[in-house]
Chains A and B, each alone.
Chain A
């Protein structure tokens, strides 16, 4: 071994240091304090670092029961819900959403609001051909209301599945990967509550973008065009039909996404799996329709089943030849299977890092 010049000098010729007092090392923190970092009443309890106890000492552990009042169940559940939803707006103290995910949600939300801008444009340049054309293209009618939530291009081709994949993908898989479900299950939270709140918060985030933008679109059309009660009476049933279709879409997508999230340990497997299901079934059914001339395979596609039902709800002619009942059964089966899978997976979720 050969030492280089620079560091040898700070070795031997040091001043005599003060002998460290063992005082501050001897009084250890209690384990509870270390774990929870709060000195709420445990200050007088102490445990001494074992190294010092040369003869071996058993320390009596006193766990004082907490006699406070447990908040009602909904308050606890609301806390879980809030944790997931607020995370989109504020990272601190809430669930972490990747900045990219937040950005995507914002972009998708703004894109889904474009018809409002178009209606506004048509009002401001009122009169003239351009306004007419804008109103025809983006104004409220059965087709546009349907298209706002269920149109394939661009909404169900580019936006909604991606949104679902990004938001729902990590909901449960992250907990499985990091073992963070212990945070919930070590507290008075049942697995059912945990699942339900995760489900609800994902659905609310999706609903905010998909359904809320739809409602905004309808109301802004009324406000901008100065429509009266007669208009409302005419269009409200169509609007409600579309609203129901949108809610069904949110529920179905959330169910499938949550189920995939619960079976995997990687958010990306869940996300990619979701996209694969939505896109894969759609194009395969499309291909089968073109070659074998039957639309019945569209029941395999969650999107098409929802679109079929949505067309009926809004009252526009169906694109599909098979019976509507089949599509409804398909939606029900997809939801039932997904929720069933989700429930069984969460029930058997191990509270560790898997």
Chain B
């Protein structure tokens, strides 16, 4: 009997509390809804995210150009052969006269720098600057773009070369029917060359030349994908394009000069694991990849379809989550909405209506913050779901809908809402503490939090510990790692193979894991810290408000 009564009483008290909470929360929501500034702020936030989504969709529509990560698809010297092909044939990729099959130029004579004079004969002329009067000029193209295109020479302007007009390097112009002016050009012809004063010219012949068809640049893009068996104990990595093993290359022995490696000498076992041309993946005892050391030129140009695309996609989600959600919405929504939750009521005098009801002042603060959280948090949640829907349906990969995207977005929303709660509690308490100074201090704290967020993004781990934004950003890092455990591998891969990566810019492994490296621990710590800040601030505000005399 007693028991039932007690339970009945408890229920009554609870439901009554519940009703009061509902009423104050609802009142707060309606109040915020009736303020123009709320709508302005939410609309600006909405526009910002829509603009980012538009950029994202625009990026998808443009498609992903395959990236030549190792740079060997580019024809650096302009001789028509991609660097990779030149390298195979041992020619110098930075010298336009050196290309596969170009043979060897044998110099017979030259005007040295600064000499003056004339020379006649049927020769191959190199690096020649001056006027050539000819009886025969070879108009067949040899090799790539390094040779003067004698067919399409423009007439020279009036006056003297370098005094009245200028020619680009390797270019020339026609002065008459049998006379051309050239600047550092290469051509074959029979005639008399007069060197320009202060310049040079060489002549001779080309030996052992043969024809090699230039390969298309696409042969050297995405030609060496990352070969990861998933097991660090197996042999990983395979030199798909053969530029590490160099078996069957036309040039034998292969040239030692490896122009795109930073090392002057090619080392087919740079990681020193005794296997030529492989990639060593080093895992810790938990099986997490902690480092990747490739041999030279192995897996150096992976397909963007698999890696860079995914990387950029995640970078967009993480970047938007951290910058647009936490740093902009997370800091500025509370500044706009939470500062006046109780302060404005006090200033207006409308607080008297609410406080003449049988409601504890402490409860009152909590319910006000709850109401603000419903508005701000609801907005964040809806926006994150919208972002999630778009990125999940348009993202890379085989699946039609990337559910994990949505989970990460929900995680971002969760982190942002925790930040909103913490900031809301802080700013509300400041507004309570001093209606005169509190708001200014709130502004300074807003700037401080922003600076700390920037520092956290920059990789600082210690100084920003004293800020809400630091823990929120770390929570996002943790959530990302929980949902996409391979993010850390992508992070390591990007640095190991020197790939352009947005993940390295926006994401870093969570720092505060108590040495366990577990994202669950760091996430949990972040959540606890944020909740602790929120509740301490609310408690502090309550104790202040309880003792406050209201005029």
Please list the residues of chain A having a beta carbon within 8 angstroms of any beta carbon in chain B.
98-101, 104, 153-154, 157-158, 161-162, 165-166, 264, 266, 268-269, 271-272, 275-276, 279-280, 283-284, 286-288, 290-292
Assess the B323–A98 pair: CB atoms within 8 A.
Answer: no
Q: Which of B15-23, B241-249, B394-402, B437-445 interfaces with chain A?
A: B437-445
Q: How far is the CA of A100 from the CA of B443 in the complex (A)?
A: 11
Q: Which residue of A lies closest to B51 (CB)?
A: A284
Assess the B440–A104 pair: CB atoms within 8 A.
Answer: yes
Q: Which of B133-141, B192-200, B313-321 interfaces with chain A?
A: B313-321
Cβ of B87 < 8 Å from any Cβ of A? no
What are 28 A-B interface contacts by the 8 Å CB criterion? A98-B440, A99-B437, A100-B437, A101-B440, A153-B454, A154-B451, A157-B451, A158-B448, A162-B444, A166-B443, A266-B37, A268-B439, A268-B443, A272-B332, A272-B336, A272-B443, A275-B332, A275-B335, A279-B327, A279-B450, A280-B332, A283-B454, A284-B328, A287-B323, A288-B52, A290-B505, A291-B316, A292-B55
Q: How far is the CA of A284 from the CA of B339 in the complex (A)?
A: 25
Scan B518-550; emit 1 where CB is below 8 A from any A CB, else 0.
000000000000000000000000000000000
Q: How far is the CA of A283 from the CA of B456 in the complex (A)?
A: 14
Q: Which residue of B lies closest to A268 (CB)?
A: B439
Q: How far is the CA of A290 from the CA of B506 in the complex (A)?
A: 9
Closest CB in chain A relative to B49 CB, distance in Å: 10
**Quick one: which of B328, B440, B444 has the most chain A CB within 10 A?**
B440
The one of A99, A266, A280 that contacts B48, using a Cβ cutoff of 8 Å:
A280
Cβ of B59 < 8 Å from any Cβ of A? yes
Q: How far is the CA of A264 from the CA of B35 in the complex (A)?
A: 12
Within 8 Å CB of A283, what residues of B? 323, 327-328, 454
Q: Which residue of A lies closest to B44 (CB)?
A: A276
Within 8 Å CB of A165, what residues of B? 443
Q: How far is the CA of A99 from the CA of B436 in the complex (A)?
A: 10
Q: Which residue of A lies closest to B454 (CB)?
A: A157
Cβ of B459 < 8 Å from any Cβ of A? no
Q: A104-B440, A290-B502 are in contact. Are A158 and B451 (CB under 8 A)?
A: yes
Closest CB in chain A relative to B250 CB, distance in Å: 37
Q: How far is the CA of A268 from the CA of B334 in the complex (A)?
A: 12
Assess the A158–B324 pair: CB atoms within 8 A.
Answer: no
Cβ of B447 < 8 Å from any Cβ of A? yes
Scan B424-441; emit 1 where CB is below 8 A from any A CB, else 0.
000000000000110111
Q: A104-B444, A279-B450 are in contact. Are A291 and B312 (CB under 8 A)?
A: yes
Q: How far is the CA of A153 from the CA of B458 in the complex (A)?
A: 12
Q: Is the interface of A mostly helix, strand, loop or mixed?
A: helix
> Which bracket fits the contact residues of B?
35 or more
Please list the residues of chain B having a beta carbon within 8 angstroms of any beta carbon in chain A.
37, 44, 48, 52, 55, 59, 312, 315-316, 319-320, 323-324, 327-328, 332, 335-336, 339, 436-437, 439-444, 446-448, 450-451, 454, 502, 505-506
Within 8 Å CB of B315, what residues of A? 290-291
Assess the A100–B440 pair: CB atoms within 8 A.
Answer: yes
Q: How far is the CA of A162 from the CA of B48 in the complex (A)?
A: 22
Within 8 Å CB of A291, what residues of B? 59, 312, 315-316, 319, 502
The one of A266, A275, A287 that contacts B320, using a Cβ cutoff of 8 Å:
A287
Within 8 Å CB of A101, what residues of B? 440
Within 8 Å CB of A98, what residues of B? 436-437, 440
Q: How far is the CA of A269 from the CA of B436 in the complex (A)?
A: 15
The one of B323, B324, B447 that contacts A275, using a Cβ cutoff of 8 Å:
B447
Known pairs A99-B437, A271-B443, A272-B446. 14 more at Cβ < 8 A?
Answer: A98-B437, A100-B441, A158-B451, A162-B443, A268-B335, A268-B442, A275-B332, A275-B446, A279-B327, A280-B328, A283-B323, A283-B454, A284-B48, A290-B319
Assess the A158–B447 pair: CB atoms within 8 A.
Answer: yes
Assess the A288–B446 pair: CB atoms within 8 A.
Answer: no
Closest CB in chain A relative to B80 CB, distance in Å: 28
The one of A100, A161, A272 that contacts B335, using a Cβ cutoff of 8 Å:
A272
Q: How far is the CA of A191 from the CA of B6 in the complex (A)?
A: 70
**Quick one: which of A99, A101, A276 has the most chain B CB within 10 A?**
A276
Within 8 Å CB of A162, what residues of B? 443-444, 447
**Quick one: which of A287, A288, A292 has the most chain B CB within 10 A?**
A287
Closest CB in chain A relative to B162 CB, distance in Å: 29
**Quick one: which of A100, A165, A271 has the most chain B CB within 10 A?**
A100
**Quick one: which of A162, A264, A269 has the most chain B CB within 10 A?**
A269
Assess the B451–A269 pair: CB atoms within 8 A.
Answer: no
Q: Which residue of A lies closest to B438 (CB)?
A: A100
Q: How far is the CA of A154 from the CA of B451 in the complex (A)?
A: 9
Q: How far is the CA of A182 from the CA of B506 in the complex (A)?
A: 52
Within 8 Å CB of A287, what residues of B? 319-320, 323-324, 506
Within 8 Å CB of A269, what residues of B? 37, 336
Assess the A268–B52 pair: CB atoms within 8 A.
Answer: no
Within 8 Å CB of A271, what residues of B? 443
Within 8 Å CB of B323, what residues of A? 283-284, 286-287
Closest CB in chain B relative to A10 CB, distance in Å: 29
Q: A104-B440, A161-B447, A162-B447 are in contact. Are A288 and B55 (CB under 8 A)?
A: yes
Q: How far is the CA of A266 from the CA of B344 in the complex (A)?
A: 11
Q: Which residue of B lies closest to A279 (CB)?
A: B450
Q: Which residue of B lies closest to A100 (CB)?
A: B440
Assess the A292–B59 pair: CB atoms within 8 A.
Answer: yes
Q: How far is the CA of A342 from the CA of B245 in the complex (A)?
A: 70
Q: How far is the CA of A165 from the CA of B339 in the complex (A)?
A: 16
Q: Which residue of B lies closest to A263 (CB)?
A: B40
Within 8 Å CB of B332, what residues of A? 272, 275-276, 280
Assess the A276–B328 pair: CB atoms within 8 A.
Answer: yes
**Quick one: which of A104, A153, A279 has the most chain B CB within 10 A?**
A279
Within 8 Å CB of A280, what residues of B? 48, 328, 332
Closest CB in chain B relative to A200 CB, distance in Å: 24
Q: How far is the CA of A264 from the CA of B450 in the complex (A)?
A: 24
Q: How far is the CA of A155 from the CA of B319 in the complex (A)?
A: 24
Within 8 Å CB of B55, what residues of A? 288, 292
Closest CB in chain A relative to B325 CB, distance in Å: 11
Closest CB in chain B relative to A284 CB, distance in Å: 7
Q: How far is the CA of A44 from the CA of B44 in the complex (A)?
A: 61
Within 8 Å CB of A279, what residues of B? 327-328, 450
Within 8 Å CB of B37, what residues of A? 264, 266, 269
Q: How far is the CA of A101 from the CA of B436 in the complex (A)?
A: 11
Assess the B440–A166 pair: CB atoms within 8 A.
Answer: yes
Question: What are the 8 closest A-B residue pairs judged by CB atoms, nearest first?
Answer: A100-B440, A272-B335, A287-B323, A287-B319, A290-B505, A276-B332, A283-B323, A280-B328
Q: How far is the CA of A99 from the CA of B434 in the complex (A)?
A: 13
Closest CB in chain B relative to A156 CB, distance in Å: 11
Within 8 Å CB of A290, what residues of B? 315, 319, 502, 505-506
Closest CB in chain B relative to A87 CB, distance in Å: 16
